[in-house]
Chains A and B, each alone.
Chain A
């Protein structure tokens, strides 16, 4: 048992670069220690895949691997979110698998709570740290949310522009920003980091052509955002000299999601109903990119991802109607750089040729 002097050492699996904000919320708002799991590597993936059911979607395997690495790094508490689709069931099965492996830990599974009720949130906060002062928690939590917004904003700017900087300064500035966020302890740390990366970005002269190739990226929530999972698709495509646009991120999907109803109106001709957790946003954004004359779309998903497989026929319709090429990428624990690069290069060649002809 944990002795009363020690605070909880809590961990949440790796998820893109959002762990900086999780860390901030755990340490500054909840006043417990956060064990940020090591960055995902091939080992994480292999560990996760080894102990997962074979046909489960890939994010399950990666987050399981990341949980094991968090436990190895000394975490005594793990947390898993609730969610639509299979995600809402990840927690219960991962907890069972980790217990069967012999690990001891406290597991906070948000799927066990009714997240539609405010008082459940308080219950969770109090469970993590009974001594937390609620008003202070809320204030600090909002700073964590601010960090997510900045992260999403900066990441979007980064992938849109980094392909046009041969010097590497753009990338260095982005990396510095990430480090700043992972080490931020106060609100002004966050604000300073944000301000300095914006300045640094502006100082880099870009050699963007007048009509650069523009590609819209859509897909399943985890794999589309997690650079390790998608084998750094955005970076690789950007490095070929392409402007990358992705709407899907935590800010848009969860924090400022006023527009989803109106999105549905704009895609009425393509689908009548909400087809899955991220379907409406993905279809809307794909159509938006097509209408704005983008050169191509990339659809990213984990192998076997039910809702995104079901979005594909609609994307095929968009592709046909607007004559926009779509590259469909599926990732499993065996996906390799080589295989993806070949497809990516072929895709690039195609959109490049089309641009010349059109």
Chain B
């Protein structure tokens, strides 16, 4: 490319950002590409996303489109990967296959350009190859891209290991512990997931994230609860429940309305995991904090009562 000016890449702080942020930042930093991240989710972002999305779409997509919209015109490209699968029985929700094309159609009039990469291992497209193509399409030499990806991957792994270690420590703390079973972009979103975690903390309960787990190990354990589940992110969570349900006092299945995979997976978990109390909590753009807090309060009461603490 005519590498006069390196482009600025916009990263919507939603959906897969929460899974890949370390990798993305490290990769672009290494190549000397500037990134901008949209601000934390707030009412305005949600409302904007809601107006852009098809009414029936899940809350996560609405939030995502709000973030993407806030980056339109503020960067050369917005990064939206397509992630289809990581192999057989390791699929993503179909929404992650559709996302780049969906956004291109939604923002067609804006003239905004997008950057994408395609992970579809069943079609022999893995992450390394996808990043290689991405970097080279931006005009960087193959070697530089390979190095950037390698370093970024290392950074990602180190960071993730530390996060997992931190969660593992939490299982050993005293007092009530509740496992939050949710997609990372639901659990970690300040506007939705945090209302749950911060309430629990205030109530003296330790929330632990099910999705932050040794992923390969969890995927391996997931058939203990559900042998035919094929969504990678659900399998990580199911496996994490199988690994940890003895170490917590309750489980909250936290879902963004109306999440396709969760609509089935969470039902199955509720029917099969009997050892600890399970709360099914579905958040939508209408849910007020008050309603959520009432349900959390009574759930915590049930646990305390059951354990003779009340």
Which A residues are within 8 Å of any B CB, using their own CB? Answer: 53-57, 60, 84-86, 88-93, 96-97, 100, 109, 111-112, 114, 116, 270-277, 279, 303-304, 306-307, 309-314, 316-317, 330
- In whole angstroms, what is the CA distance A10 to B193 when docked? 45
* Contact residue among A93, A114, A303, A306 (Cβ-Cβ distance under 8 Å from B88): A114
The answer to whether A53 and B263 touch across the interface, beta carbons within 8 angstroms, is yes
| Docked pose: A3 CA to B226 CA in angstroms | 31
Q: Given the known A-B contacts A86-B264, A93-B264, A109-B228, are A312 and B54 also in contact in the complex, defined by CB atoms under 8 Å?
A: yes
Contact with A along B253-288 (1 / 0, CB 8 A): 000011111011111100110000000001000000
User: What chain A residues lie within 8 Å of B259 (beta carbons)?
Assistant: 55
Residues of A within 8 A of B267 (CB): 53, 56, 93
Are A274 and B97 in contact (CB-based, < 8 A)? yes
Report B15 CB to chain A, min CB distance, Å. Answer: 13
Partner of B228, one of A89, A116, A272, A317: A89
Q: Report the number of A-B residue pairs with Cβ-Cβ less than 8 Å.
A: 117
Which 8 pairs, one residue from A and one from B, show the smallest C-beta to C-beta distance? Answer: A310-B98, A271-B101, A275-B98, A53-B267, A313-B105, A55-B258, A55-B263, A306-B260
Quick one: given A100-B271, A112-B228, are A86 and B102 in contact (CB under 8 Å)? no
User: Would you list 23 pairs from A and B whose C-beta atoms are within 8 A, ordered by A residue?
Assistant: A56-B267, A84-B91, A89-B228, A89-B264, A89-B265, A90-B264, A92-B226, A93-B267, A270-B105, A271-B104, A272-B116, A273-B97, A273-B98, A273-B118, A274-B97, A304-B56, A307-B94, A310-B99, A311-B98, A313-B54, A313-B102, A313-B105, A314-B101
- Most chain A beta carbons < 10 A, residue from B58, B263, B272: B263
Q: Are B101 and A92 in contact (CB under 8 A)?
A: no
Verify A271–B105 contact, CB threshold 8 A. Answer: yes
User: Which one of B54, B56, B101 lies within 8 Å of A273 (CB-CB)?
Assistant: B101
Task: Tell me whether B209 is interfacial, beta carbon within 8 Å.
Answer: no
In the complex, which residues of chain A have a beta carbon less than 8 angstroms from the beta carbon of B98? 273, 275-276, 279, 307, 310-311
Assembled-state Cα–Cα distance A97/B267 (Å): 10
A residues in contact with B116, CB < 8 Å? 272
B90 in contact (CB, < 8 A): no
Once the chains bind, are A56 and B102 in contact (CB under 8 Å)? Answer: no
Most-contacted residue by chain B among A89, A93, A96 (CB, 10 A): A89
Q: Give chain A nearest CB distance to B79 CB in angstroms.
A: 15
Given contacts A109-B228, A330-B56, contact A275 B272 (CB under 8 A): no
**B229 and A89 form a contact (CB under 8 A):** yes
Q: Which residues of B are found within 8 Å of A109, using beta-carbon distances?
A: 228
Contacts of B100 in A (CB 8 A): 272-273
Partner of B258, one of A84, A270, A274, A304: A304
Known contacts A53-B263, A304-B263, A314 near B56 by CB under 8 Å? no
Identify the closest chain A residue to B116 (Cβ): A272
- Bound-state CA distance A112–B106 (Å) is 38
Contact (Cβ within 8 A) A92 B228: yes
Tell which of B54, B97, B266 touches A275, judged by Cβ atoms closer than 8 Å. Answer: B97
Give which listed residue, A93, A112, A270, A275, contacts B268 with CB less than 8 A: A93
Measured between beta carbons, the chain B residues less than 8 angstroms from A273 are: 82, 84, 97-98, 100-101, 118
A311 to B105, CA, bound (A): 10
Which has the most chain A C-beta neighbours within 10 Å: B58, B93, B101, B227? B101
Q: Give every chain A residue within 8 A of B263 (Cβ-Cβ).
A: 53-57, 86, 304
User: Complex formed: what's the CA distance from A109 to B230 in Å?
Assistant: 14
Bound Cα distance A114, B101 (Å)? 30
The answer to whether residues A91 and B260 also contact, given A55-B282, A310-B95, A317-B105 and a CB cut-off of 8 A, is no
Q: Which of A100, A270, A276 has the most CB of B within 10 A?
A: A276
Q: Give min CB distance, B181 to chain A, whole Å.
A: 15
Contacts of A274 in B (CB 8 A): 84, 97
Q: Distance in Å from the Cβ of B82 to the closest Cβ of chain A?
A: 5
User: Once bound together, how far apart are the Cα atoms of A137 and B228, in whole Å?
Assistant: 28
- Compute how far the CA of A55 lies from the CA of B99 in the bound complex, rounded to whole angstroms: 22
The docked-state distance in angstroms from the alpha carbon of A87 to that of B261 is 10
**10 other A-B residue contacts (CB within 8 Å) besides A53-B267, A272-B104, A273-B98:** A53-B266, A55-B263, A55-B282, A85-B260, A270-B101, A272-B116, A273-B84, A276-B98, A306-B260, A309-B54
On whether the beta carbons of B104 and A86 are closer than 8 Å, the reply is: no
Known contacts A55-B282, A273-B97: does B108 contact A317 (CB below 8 Å)? Answer: yes
> Is B142 an interface residue when CB atoms closer than 8 A count as contact?
no
Also in contact, A96 and B228, with CB within 8 A (given A271-B101, A273-B100): no
Interface residues of B in 207-260 (CB under 8 A from A): 226-230, 257-260
Cross-chain contact B102 with A275 (CB below 8 angstroms): yes
Q: Within 8 Å of chain A (Cβ to Cβ): is B57?
A: yes
Give Cα A283–Cα B281 distance, bound, in whole angstroms.
Answer: 35
A interface footprint on B107-121 (CB within 8 Å = 1, 0 otherwise): 010000000101000
Alpha-carbon gap, A314 to B271, bound state (A):
38
Q: A96-B268, A273-B118, A304-B260 are in contact. Are A91 and B101 (CB under 8 A)?
A: no
Residues on B with C-beta less than 8 A from A56 are: 263-264, 267
**Contact flag A310-B102 (CB < 8 Å), given A55-B263, A56-B264:** yes
